Structure 1
Amino acid sequence: MRADPVAPSTVTADVSRQRTRRGLIAAAVLVVLVPLLYVLGNPHNFYDLHIYMRAMHWWADGHPLYDYVQPDRLQGALYFTYPPLTALLLRPFAALPLGATVTIFTAFTMAALLVTTWWLVKPVADRRGIPHWLALGVSVPLVFALESTRETITFGQINMLLVVLVLADLLIAVPKGSRWSGVGIGLATALKLYPGIFIVYLLVTRRWRAAITAGATAAVATLLAAAVAPGDSWRFWTHELWITDRVGRPDYTGNQSLFGMLSRFSVPYPADKALWLALVVVVAAYGLWRAARAVRAGDELAGLALTGLVGALASPITWTHHVYWFVPALVVLVDAGLRRPGAPTVPGRRRRRFRLALAAVVYAPIVYGVVSFHDWDKIPQRTDNPFEFVARNLYVLLAVLLVVVLPIRRPDRSAPDPDPPAGHPTPPLPH
């Protein structure tokens, strides 16, 4: 029996041109529509950056750093809550005009988003034969559309500095076995505590040297800051760190953590901390177990995405601009949902469609968001019906869902991978 003839190359070229044309149209539409989200949403006028700079002026005038307080119409009062190392890095900006500081912060955040998006999508584009310019042309506007990105830019937040440090470590330094592995995570942890979850990730994935380096880097950076500002450092680590109310109301809808969800149930009374800790233990144990399993299967991106989502759920306060970790999770979902080049069309089609549908289900709500287009919680308000429960805990529910169902990709195909048999390690996915 004769084999079917191979399709002529012109067909393949036509298909490629059609895909490119569709990609160009999609990129053009996104470039036009995404700025509207910033115009129509609440721009925040760099509110957090104003607080940082006022706190730096207060500190430069000789006042104790952690005495600074900013009145807030929604949350009563906000304080400077970062570790002293971050304050030392921010203090030189107090000498600049505020407009210059806003420009620098915005430019850095945008550059960081471009670089990190490139790190995430380049391996997928290379593996699937997608032109780099097309992959970036579609993915960058999609990332800029997210509420977490809009909040980071319009509040004047420093989140993307931490993301760059963590991703540089986990996608570049650690896979290459660099002597610098762990330094980025350690610095990020010294600047803001929640990246410390990635030190735990290094431990559960048995990258002992990188974990030790990360812990040592965080400790040394913290001690150097203490040498420059001993009084403020002592006060932060012994007192201010443990007062979560300084960051803002835990029941406020912008706090998308397990503790925030419980606080919205119990307001005006404090959330049950024993119940919160029990939930954190369960989510962290399961999520980090899956993250370690992903690394054993060769999927570093799924591992770090799961860890970031666990950190967001476990932290007492997780503002929407902290939850960047939906982005790598969405890249994993989309990659796992696309048919690999040269593979048969039918096998696994239902599973691939489910993953692409799940990516859409996750993406759409986190573009609309939970706070950008709402004016939630002018006064503390208990969650008392199913609609409000879903609407006010949207990120929490989506993060828990992804911790449970995020696929772990195999190096040779986009399918879940069981733990590789002993003695037969799976080679890592290319990064």
Structure 2
Amino acid sequence: MAILEKSSVEIQAIAAKKAAKQLSLLTTEEKNEALLVLATSLEEEYKTILQANQKDLEAGKEQGFDAAYIDRLSLSKERIFDFADGLRQVAKLADPTNEVLSSWTLENGLKVEKVTVPLGVIGMIYEARPNVTADATGLALKSGNAIVLKGGSSAIHSNQAIVDVMHQALEKTKIPKEAVQFIASTDRTATQELFTMKQHIDVLIPRGGASLINAVVNNATVPVLETGVGNCHLYIDEKANVEKALKILINAKTDRPAVCNAAETAIIHKVWFENNLDTFMATCHEYNITIHGDETVASRIPGAKIATESDWENEYLSLDIAVKVVDSIDEAIEHIETYGTKHSEAIITEDESAASKFMKLVDASALYHNASTRFTDGGALGFGAEIGISTQKLHARGPMGLPALTTIKYLMTGDGQIR
């Protein structure tokens, strides 16, 4: 009987699984020391990484990538030092593994413990953002998991450079470099292979646009931790403080418009809209925000474009915003229910009962009262870094830090008990 030759992707997955066993035996101190070595190495080799990133940027511009995509792809010394610092923050966090969540003793004397353990091998499929390579690796290693990285072809040089630096650094630590696998192939079949490697990969995490996420969710036989796109809404209630509302709107829309936690739609109560129309228009004009509005908005704001169905449905990832005027908070919630992606939603109001209703009825992984949606981020919420933002409801939801990368075991200790 002929023995089928293993593909390069499967060989890497098998190596990761073997490394995960070694990784599970390391102490918290050994994992932390490794993360600190990784951070220092990334900073020391930042010029090498930037040179590789420049190749990706030049290729992206030749292919006509839009400004939002180029922003996600771009690295700088500051961004590299930021994700190196993220590794240091992860090193400071509590180890999520080997925690006894509960324990009890049965009548027959059998002792039972419910303990957190690593997932095993994580398959990470992502687009554009090279920082994910370092962030995901740091979180995986700290939580005792090996990781197989499959970045998008547009960032191939950047990702390869980052992984090369990390591999060299890991040789100075107790963590085997095989715990971090990078699939350098730009062939889509390599990604599709990961979808079905259930015997080697314990979980897949897709991070990118809707088409990537849907492809993984619809085709994978490996369990998927589903992340989601961010069609985020900001509801300005009738009783919203004007200064507060505009400050939050500008931050949520313009701070980094190309990221998933940026606001894409402003829903405004008609009373607030009528009372503050001039100020709202002036603020949007000052920050070069292009408005796509419903009939009320388009008829009142010069230069506003008529919003189509796609304006309500999709992420702009730019300085464009959809604006809808509503008669009530119920209408606002209904609009979010129809077009939201269960990512991040915010209400601006001084009415506590309205805020409470919004927080209870809106179905999303992150909800805000009088604050910007830009805080839906692992680093901003004190996780050190994040491996993605889950919009599903099983296992993990919202920004996924270290605890989301663990599962449980029941450990039973007896003295000869039989059933």
What TM-score comes out, normalization by structure 2 length?
Answer: 0.24
Structure with the higher fraction of residues in helix conformation: 1
Structure whose CA Rg is larger = 2
